[in-house]
Amino acid sequence: MTIHNIVAVTACPTGVAHTIMAAEALKKTAQVMGHELRVETQGSEGVKNALSDAEIAAADLVIVAADIHVDLDRFQGKPIHAVSTSRAIRDTRSVIEEAIARSRSVAPVDRSAPSKPIMAASTPSPTPTTSTVAPDLSATGSRYLVGITSCPTGIAHTFMAAEALRKGAAELGHDIKVETQGSVGAKNQLTPEDIDRADAVVIAADTHVDTARFVGKRLYQTSTKHALKDGAGVIQAALATPAPTATAGDRPDYLQSVQQAKAEQSAKRSGPYKHLLTGVSYMLPVIVAGGLIIALSFVFGLDPAEGTFGDALKQIGGDAAFSLIVPVLSGFIAFSIADRPGLAPGLIGGVLAANLGMGFLGGILSGFLAGYIALFVREKINLPANFEGLKPVLVIPLLSTLAVGLLLVYVFGVPVKAILDGLTAFLQNMGQTNAVILGLILGGMMAVDMGGPVNKAAYTFAVGLLATNIFEPMAAVMAAGMTPPLGLALATLMAKRKFTEEERQAGKVASVLGISFITEGAIPFAVKDPLRVIPSCIAGSAVAGGLSMLFGCTLRAPHGGVFVLAIPNAVGQGGLYIVAIALGSLVTAIVVTQLKRWQPSVQSTPEPTRASSAH
């Protein structure tokens, strides 16, 4: 077997979980396969373990496992195989085999000299471990391509690059449909049918473009400048790019089936639900940062004196960060609906909703109003070509902001505020029985899909109530979210014979994720044995949530796990809060071990083809 020298880059938006997990999976699997691999990680904290020029020069191939834009200029002349971090984690061996197959199948295109003719790729003979690589299409009949162009401003280069690609394709006798992601949002959007019939995909962009919808397609990425200079050359290079290869490791397993099912369900969901979750995802970092800073201010007392350090922290967390919660929620719901044109009216509508006392309910309403009104203005109001540039910076923001503002002030402000006040009063004055029932419901929801839509709905409800000074649901939700990984980690210790060695090792990792309030730490167990694991987790989380509400526990920080217990005044009834989490975890462990009594004891066997499963 030939030993390959591989360099890799892993990157995700946060630069923490998926970045590190993908890097570890690649390193360990490459070692098992007998290859040498060096990984650089990129994320919110910058670049770590940076690859040197000498390491890149000595590499036989490059693997890029990323969910954000990664600069590939330094890898010119090297075969590059790009995948998502999730694929690198769950299909590590396949990713490495595909990268090696690609390096053998075609000489890399020199992107530094785009005007040079692209030679047809040679196709290797099939081997037992890899399927035949699809042939170069650049020299065969008329082909259909799809593309995306995007630049930071979203005006000139975006549309000029799109036109250059269309002309280049026409010169070569091909057809291409190009989606432009500009300042007025996405135009000429690609449909699933367009992507399905496409022979290749061209991304000519100077900003990050999500490529998840192009899985399984020839994908060629370059800059708008390159497309402008040599549109025909870019088309040729895209058609010369080898298609993703099918390898022996690509046989569908249960994890892949679950992931695919989730993706299909997500795609089928109606628009409003997707837009709401987009707004929530952008709101969470703001509320987490603000909540933790407010909790830190409690070290100096619940009401620190003006001018003190505690007062400064309270201003940062409460007056600044928390004042952005509703505007950010509203702004990015609108952004999800109408793209960039929706952002201004969404943010302004969110501020207005907060000022009118409409709370997070008003933020959700203003976001949807702003998004759909901006979308209507964008699609229905047409200007002469010479004035089209005014549309995204003047016409859409002005008209949509006026419409949203007037609707909130004169139509929706009073009734929405009344609804929020009623909800707040009910939660503040509810009896112990109702509190426990609410805790049971929220707790169970946190474990149903562990980080999925139901989990997010419960979390969003609790987070939204923080702004109205209701802290009990937040405590119940976090306790319930910590329980699944902690309970499963405990189960691997209580009934070792019912778990493989890999699962017992995963249990150690799950315990760390559990105390950090990362519910997703339970997913590997749930995927392998959903009928036993998921009901067990729901039972334990419901108990934890119900007990937290029964004990009157409060939580002023929306994240942080057990570590927030170290912050004075951040958790009310801290001792009983730990009891609630411990009992919920114990229930999960007992239920899952009892359910596993009806399955035979397992023997651990090495699984080199799934070296990433412990991650």
Catalytic (active-site) positions: 151
The helix/strand/coil state of 40 is strand
**Gap between the Cα atoms of 136 and 146, Å rounded:** 17
Per-residue DSSP letter, 468:
T
Cα 400 to Cα 407: distance, rounded to the nearest angstrom: 11
Residue where the block lists tokens 């997990």:
21
Element holding 177 (H helix, E strand): strand 175-182
Element (H, E) at 148: strand 144-150
- Over the Cα atoms of the chain, what is R_g? 27
CA separation for the pair 487, 329 (Å, rounded) = 33
CA-closest candidate to residue 367, choices 344, 349, 379: 349
Taking the C-alpha atoms of residue 332 and residue 335, their distance in angstroms, rounded to an integer, is: 4
Helix (H), strand (E) at residue 185: strand 185-187
- Per the DSSP assignment, residues forming a β-bridge with 469 are none
DSSP 242-264: PPPPPBGGGS--HHHHHHHHHHH
Here the tokens at position 604 are: 């651990």
Residue 179: strand pairing partners:
148
DSSP annotation of 130 reads B
